[in-house]
Structure formats: C-alpha cells, structure tokens
Amino acid sequence: MARVTLPGHIPALRGILAVLAVLAVVFGSAAPARADDVRDSQWFLAPLKVAQAQRISKGAGVIVAVLDTGVDARHQDLGGAVLAGRQVVRNEPAGNLDTVGHGTGMAGIIAGRGHGAGRGVLGIAPQAKIMPITPADDTFFVGQGIRWAAGHGAKVIVLAFGIDDGEGLRAAVSEAAAADVVLVGTSGNSGDKGNEVEFPGAYPQVLTVGAVDRRNKVAAFSNHGPHVDLVAPGVDIPAPAPGDKYVTGTGTSGAAGIVAGAAALIRAKYPDLPAAEVVRRLTGTATDRGDKGRDDYYGAGQLNLLAALTAPGTDPPVPGAEPIRSGRQNATPDIEPTRGGKQNAAAGAEPPDEDGGIPPIVLVAAGSMVLLGAGVAAAVLLARSRRAGG
C-alpha cells in the first residue's frame, strides 16, 4: 500500500508548476497493494466496534455528499455506492474522474464496500450512497455545490477541506443546516504549524472534527480551538485510490470521513431524528478525554460509535433544535459524555501529542499517469484557492 507524504489537506499551492509537482509525486509514488492486507490495516475498526455497529445500521437509504476532488466510482471497493453527483461549474454529472484521489479516498472511508471475502476497504456506512460534488477549491462553487447536494437528497455533507470565508458560502451552509442536513468538516492540519482557523469547519453549523492517533492522543497536526466539536481516528487510515489502488492517509480528512459515516448510520437507524439531534448524539456520547468536559483539543470528546447508535434519548426529538457547538451539545439530558482514557492532570487543555506528529498526508491516490494530463486542468482551479484541503 502506498504511503503519500503530502499535507493532510488538499494543498493550497501558489502556481500551476507547484500543483503539477505535487501531482507527479502522487501518481509516481504508489504501488499496488493486496486488498486483503488493506482490510487488515484498518486498525480503527476494532476500537470503534464497527462490526457491532453495523449489525444495528449500515447506512442504507442515506445519501452522503462528498464535496471534493471527484470520485472514481469504478474502484472495486465502491461498486454500486456512487451516484452521478454534480460538477457544478459545468452543471453536469460529476463522472468518474478524480485527478487527485482525495475524493475517492473519502468515499471509501465513508461507504467502502470492499470486495470478495473480507478484501479491500470497508467503510463505516457501507450501504450509504456517495454523491460526489466538484470542485472544492472555489468559495462560490462550493456554496453552489452545497445547495445542489441539499436540494437533491443528501442527508450528510462532508466538507473535508479549507477555503476562504465568504458571504455566499456562509449562506449556503446555513441553508443546508436549516434543510435538516448534517454538515461535517475538518478542524485543519496546521496545528503544529500555525493552527490557522479554516472554513467551512469554523462555521457553527458544521460538525468540526479533529484527529487522534492509535493511542487516542490528539495528533500534533490537528488544529485546536473553540471550533473543534469532536475527534476521531485520523492517523494511518487506509483508503481506495483511482485505478483500483490504495493509499494510507494521515490528516483530519480521514477523521471527518469516519464521523460522516457515523452520521449516516444514525440517520439510517433513526430516519426521523433531526440533523441537530444527530449531532448531539455524536457529541453527547463521545468518550471524554483531556480535561474533564469540553476542551479545545478533543472538543466534546472522541467518537464512540456504538454508544452514538444505542444511547437512550432518541425519542422524541427536540422540536426546532438548532445545530450547536460542542460546548453546549450535551443539552439533551439523556445523553451524557462517557469518561474514558487517561486524563490530563495539568491545568488547561491537553496539548497535541508531539511524538505522534506524523506529517499530515493527503488521502490521495496513485492513479495512472493518464490522469496527470487531466490534473493540469484541476491544477488551474486549485491555484485560485488560498487553501483547500481534506
């Protein structure tokens, strides 16, 4: 399985040559992997108790929109999982093109179906449908993509990138939240290099996810601050790549994909539960780590998938509930945070785990070199963005 040592977000690069250099590294560094090895390397499946959770729900009937670089729907682990989606610039179906590979990786983490007997990537919600929306590097078109997804049946929208704030983007996010859509974003991957606030993850309507490693420690790259709502595994996450290949990715994107899959499981199990209550269920059942209660590194805590699906307090939903930040998200009285893990005895929020600071990498693919030509066009769009990532 290829390990691509690139930033964990889609890079916000200055100039076409820089983008092409990154694409050359991506497409030149991967090697085929045995699909059964890929399943074995999904280390997070056991601690999240995914097998038990999937006996309760597999996400059937839920559409998850992935605003990203596109999805290679022909991948062997995504058979039957991908809808036509939309390329909003051309106002046409998204097709199967993913010149970077990030979107294909996200699709697999969320709804991968594997293939054969225990082979390939198994997503958190393997019966959910993926709706690919592109592009994800322009504020206006991202806003249009959010509106299109919300208007065409998406119940969860994943925004695993960073981009400029903008009035139109803020409006689109607010409209989607009002339309009963769960929006999942990333906290960002510059925690050890400036900790910049990134949008759309910083919007209050977005469930913003940071990353932890195998030891349940916040990764050094994972951004921290009051916008962090929840954390999930985000280090060494296997993902499908264009051309029936695989990569291992590290970054808050993988964590957001896992949480988006969890949201799909809940929406399938409790179809009448409002989006705000889905968010409360995810944060209210989280395993509390770091300082007691909410903190700026873990947010409300670490995703507890099985508890989110089985905790009491589902019926009746809170009428007219609005999406809220994790500092207030335990308002549903029947759902309390679960204490767990070693607590930080020092005052203040627990700092990132420095020795777990694996350089954040993009969940990108090693596609065929044929795609590199198409990557030139993608590079032009990427160069217009201040930063975009996942």
Q: Which residues are catalytic?
A: 68, 102, 253
Contact (Cβ atoms closer than 8 angstroms) between residue 238 and residue 42: yes
Q: Give whole-number Cα distances, 118 to 2, 38, 115, 230, 240, in Å.
A: 20, 10, 7, 29, 15
Q: Look-up: residue for tokens 């989607």?
A: 176
∠ Cα 38 44 46 (to 5°): 100
Contact (Cβ atoms closer than 8 angstroms) between residue 167 and residue 174: no
CA–CA dist 379, 377 (Å, integer): 5
3-class SS at 131? Answer: strand
Give Cβ neighbours of residue 77 (< 8 Å, ≥ 6 apart): 35, 108, 112, 113, 114, 115, 120, 121, 240
Give the CA count within 13 Å in the CB-facing half-sphere of 347: 0
Give Cβ neighbours of residue 105 (< 8 Å, ≥ 6 apart): 239, 240, 241, 247, 249, 253, 254, 257, 363, 364, 365
